[in-house]
Structure 1
Amino acid sequence: SAPTTASARASSLTFTDCQSYSNPVVFFDITIDDEHAGRIVMELFAHIVPRTAENFRALCTGEMGFGYRQSIFHRIIPDFVCQGGDITNQNGTGAKSIYGAKFEDESFEVRHTGPGLLSMANRGRDTNSSQFFITLKKAEHLDFKHVAFGFVKDGMDVVRRIGELGTKDGKPTETITISDCGQIFLSCSMFEIVFPELLLNQGSVLRTSR
């Protein structure tokens, strides 16, 4: 895990501080052993960590020719984290970012203050790539070591269900797959999430290619 950097702010930011209607919203459709389990909708803190958010957004859409679609959650520890994003080896040993093999820690402003935080998994300082995790509880010991870059806006019930399939050593008891993913655009008039089934004919959802 990466050490504390001098540029990190002393005060923590809450979800309310981090939310912005200009931030990108993305989704994962989840299957558990090939059965649909639901959708996770996430807001990315592009106004705080733009490079980190852009990496995750582009991996959700697959616009660079690779991404999260059909990747798995390979490490799940109950009451701690659900980790995925190994888009190369599918077992936690690989990863690939839109910037290359890895990229630098951007900011540690957002703290791991509760469940539903999106944060980058790493192998030390400045080793971010495509692997990420979603917290299942407050995890202060991860602050200043992992870059938190978003939160679960809807579908925390799906995240909790995934968390129940974990073990102490992290190996899931079932196969949890991101069967589809992409970006969801906000309604300009109501600032509400517009879901894909309402917009497929209007070009308002950017998805991974099939």
Structure 2
Amino acid sequence: TKFHRIIRDFMIQGGDPTGTGRGGASIYGKTFDDEIHEDLKHTGAGILSMANSGPDTNGSQFFISLAPTQWLDGKHAIFGRIASGMLNVRRLGCAETDSNDRPWMKYALYQRK
């Protein structure tokens, strides 16, 4: 996946196959409902959550937190935590961006085979 949005000390966002931040349907259709679990919190860096534009608008986009982001609790479905490689995530979080938080260089995550 390409990371199309980076906000220093907040998050990096990817999962849009177009790489623009405007695309990305889920495997369940265009969008799917939130799956919020009260016991899962945005407690620090490395939390993986669904990006959305409001309740029940999850598609394919996700973000990785770079810091505690408690104001997102109950609004974005958490589905994981970075198990290894946080140094790379933190480095990506420091990438230079334009005024729309788009990175100047292209960054992507690839599945290791």
Percent sequence identity over matched residues? 49
Residue 32 of structure 2 is aligned with which of 103, 115, 136? Answer: 103
Unaligned runs of 5+ in 2: none
Name the one with the larger strand percent: 1
Name the one with the larger helix percent: 1
Residue of structure 1 in register with 2:42 after alignment:
112
Shift in Å, 1:166: 4.4
The answer as to whether partners of 2:51 and 2:63 remain within 8 angstroms in 1 is: yes
Shift in Å, 1:171: 1.2
1:164 aligns with 2:94: yes
| Residues 1:102 and 1:133: Cα distance change in structure 2 (over 3 Å) | same
> SS at 1:153's partner residue?
coil
Residue of structure 2 in register with 1:175 after alignment:
106
CA RMSD in angstroms comes to 1.4
The answer as to whether partners of 2:48 and 2:82 remain within 8 angstroms in 1 is: yes
TM-score (norm 1): 0.50
> SS at 1:134's partner residue?
strand
The answer as to whether partners of 1:113 and 1:140 remain within 8 angstroms in 2 is: yes
Residue 82 of structure 2 is aligned with which of 152, 166, 176? Answer: 152
C-alpha distance in 1 between matches for 2:27 and 2:69: 27
TM-score (norm 2): 0.91
The answer as to whether partners of 1:75 and 1:92 remain within 8 angstroms in 2 is: yes
Q: Runs of 4 or more off by more than 4 Å in structure 1?
A: none
* Structure label with greater radius of gyration: 1
Count of residue pairs the alignment pairs up:
111
The answer as to whether partners of 1:104 and 1:127 remain within 8 angstroms in 2 is: yes
Unaligned runs of 5+ in 1: 1-70, 183-206
- Map residues 52-63 of structure 1 onto 2, 5 A cutoff: none
C-alpha distance in 2 between matches for 1:150 and 1:170: 24
